[in-house]
Structure 1
Amino acid sequence: MLTYHDVMSADFGPLNAAADKWQKMADEIHKVENAYRDSVQKITMGQTWLGDSATAAHTNFAATRYEYQAAQTQAKATATLLRNAHQQFTELKKQLENARADAVKDGMKVSEQGNVAYDWDKLTPAEREAARHDPDHASSVRASEQSWQEYIKACVKAVDDADKDLKKDLESAVKDGVGGKNDETLGTGFNGDAGKVAAADDKQKQERLELASLAMRDDETLEDWMQRLQRDGVEKLTGSKRLADLFAGVQKGTVTAGAFALALGTGAKNGWKLFKYAKDGTRVTAPGTGIASRINERMMLSSSGFWSKLPPNVVGALTGSEEAAALGGYMTKGGRFFIPTAAEANLARVAANGGLANAAKAAGWIRGAGVVGAAAGTAFGIANLSTYTPEMIKEDPAKFATDLSGTTFNASLTVLAVAPNPITAGVAIGTGLVYAGCLVWDNHEAIGKGLEKAGDWVGDKASDIGDGIASGAKKLGSALNPFD
């Protein structure tokens, strides 16, 4: 893999020089092809040479001329690939140089190896001493160092990705395929289809320049990648990296606080349900069905008023059908037959007795949305965990523990939503508390400070953000103007 030093010290000028030579080679081969056509192949096209030998010569001479033509195509394609690479490498290197300059302007220093560190030397001795004893300043320095380091690393990786693409395209350009008419050297001659490789590369060149930094990296999880895409999208639209970092920070703080509240709230609600179950035998209900239960009760008890005027099938579709839920009835240990309400029904048992359609009716839209949402969260969590490597886990065990416990928590909510009972409620309580603990471990600063710090930051940097948005809007307007 290319390093920061490799990119910064590279001279891409020879790529254009090589492209010119490849184009010149194509022009020279074209001259040879014309000479071959007029002096050699021509003798097989008249009536002076007939018979089997003439037929064989005609085929072989046509094949030779085809190879001259294919050689030109391959040479021109190689020239195009090298020119595209030169433009791409030059622009990506400029992005890296700009990233370094912006980091230095932001108070960082960047070594020849691309390592970013806060430049304490720019501070006076008094400022340096005060900053070292300010925990908020130290935290801000660490976050800024990490942000710039990741940005510079992304710029380097974009060049490395482009380099790998060039290698792949060059290999494809010289690989002889089936070819066209008169190709008699399958797999061993020149590539007459190399122009297709160059055309595809030419078409995708600008896309790679714009999107190379958005590809998922080897050292990030699926969740990290999605968050970075959102942050980079804000940066591209506004031209302000600071605004993008603020957006990401606010979003992460909001999501973290929300997840923390959900985990603790789920534990408290299910704890109360278990207490009621142990005290007076009240059945455990599926999460999110409290309102639906009250609506169904009022529907059954009201003979007049608002609830009696609503079509029963419409209300049932929303809150769950009590008739369908009855299919989940079963014999209790005391020998009595228990008929559950829609909020209490085990959907798996309803499906076993009455099919999936009745299970859907028993769930209703409100509960069904909860099941789907929890299941989707579990699926995403599993996909996210699969992107971890042993090195990533070792580097940040708190983050891995948070993602693992969060996935387990979503899985327990899925089971609880499908089959509410004391056991599944207890499991949801346990996984929720573990998840909340991991969130505190991994995000204690975000949970503690929340949006207050972001608000202070906005006040300090409002002018910078305004300039960034204005500049970005101008760039965006230019990009969208077909006459610019």
Structure 2
Amino acid sequence: MLTYQDVMTTDYGRLLTAADKWQSMAEELRKVEERYRDSVQKIHTSGNWAGVSAATALTNFAATRYEYQAAQTQAKATATLLRNGHQQLTELKKSLEAARDDAVKAGMSVSGQGAVAFDYDRLSAAEKSAARHDPDYMTSVRTAEQAWREYIKECVKAVDEADKDLRKDLEAVVKDGPGGKGDGTPGTGFNAQAGEVAKADDAQKQDRMDLAWLKMRDDETIDDYVERLQKEGLTRLTSNPKLAELVSNVSKTTVTAGAFASALTVAGMNSWKLQNYFKDVKAGNFPKAFTAPGTFVPRTANARLAGGAPGGLLARLPPNVTGVLTGSDEAAMWGGQMKNGRFFLPTAAEANLVTVARQGGAMNALKAAGAMRGLGVVGGVAGTVYGVANLATYDTDMIKKDPAKFATDVTGTAFSASMTALTVAPNPITAGLAVGTGVAYGAALIWDNHEAIGKGLEKAGHSLAGGAKKLGSALNPFD
């Protein structure tokens, strides 16, 4: 079996070099065959040769020319197999390289021989100490290491299986069987049927590239369709269904864990903000304004720019450059309004973009949002539209078949819509909607993916208990 090192260090370009030489050989054999036909084989047609020897020569000459023709077929078929093999092995090597890179990003080290181990050198002294003194932590480390080992092992196995298939075809292409008319050496000459082997290999290649499977089926939601595309696409590309299933599961787990964490985070943070808001209202204090999601960096940049020294780095930037990215506090003032008996002037992170647009025009709304918040709005709208389109593909039978998945899609779309509303117009109402839909979405995800989420929460709990956040991220091979 091929090893990780074999796959990574082999020069697959030599297959193309060999294929070119086999193709050239076929051309040279064609020339030899034509010369033989015109100079040797036609001797018996001159009329000066008769008798038993002439009859024997006729048979032998035909057999020799047949072998020249068979040799051409065999050479061309070999060239085709080598080119197809080069394409598949190169693509599979790229998959292995991607798996290695993902493992490294997740906190692993991968040696030149493919050995996978957690990279403790990335941790600080405090993080290393926390890891050593927490048995559950170390269990999670070993689990993550094993998951990445299996992932990389499957990628290597896919290359090995493709290599074995290529070897099998190359061995088949040189086996001479009973030929057609003129074959005087069945079983010991060149294979005139070699083209059938190459044709079958080409058919497999074409099947991997066939676009008919890209059509959406009647019983699929858009999510189902996308998941199937991923699986079938990788299966056709690699001819390895097991690897395709593994990659699909990794991707699905990543999305599920990320969505679950996002829903819980949004629900928790906005619940805390709402609690403080109503506490201030009850006490008769002016409540703190809500900020749009994802505006922590813009708020920090704007605050430092406002309070920065004249010669500071931010002050040296060209006028309005920071505002274009983080939002303009001046433009946000168009969103000023009476709140609880006082006139409130929002910052860029607090502004209701709808109010700014209504009172100051769409251009000021764009300036108040800035590029960072604006991208969040665009992404939220796109996600909501996708969710609605996905829900539209459901019918009654599909809902009955998998109610948990339907509930996840419904609540996920509602969560996306509420987050978009909160990004556009941060206030107690949109924050409350975000909390409600976030809790519902999280509950639906638990219902639909309780096993995967349970593992993810266990690892996250170990991470927080140990106080090493980046180790917690690295422990999850599907993060």
- TM-score (norm. length: structure 1): 0.49
Greater RCO structure (CA 8 Å; 6+ sep): 2
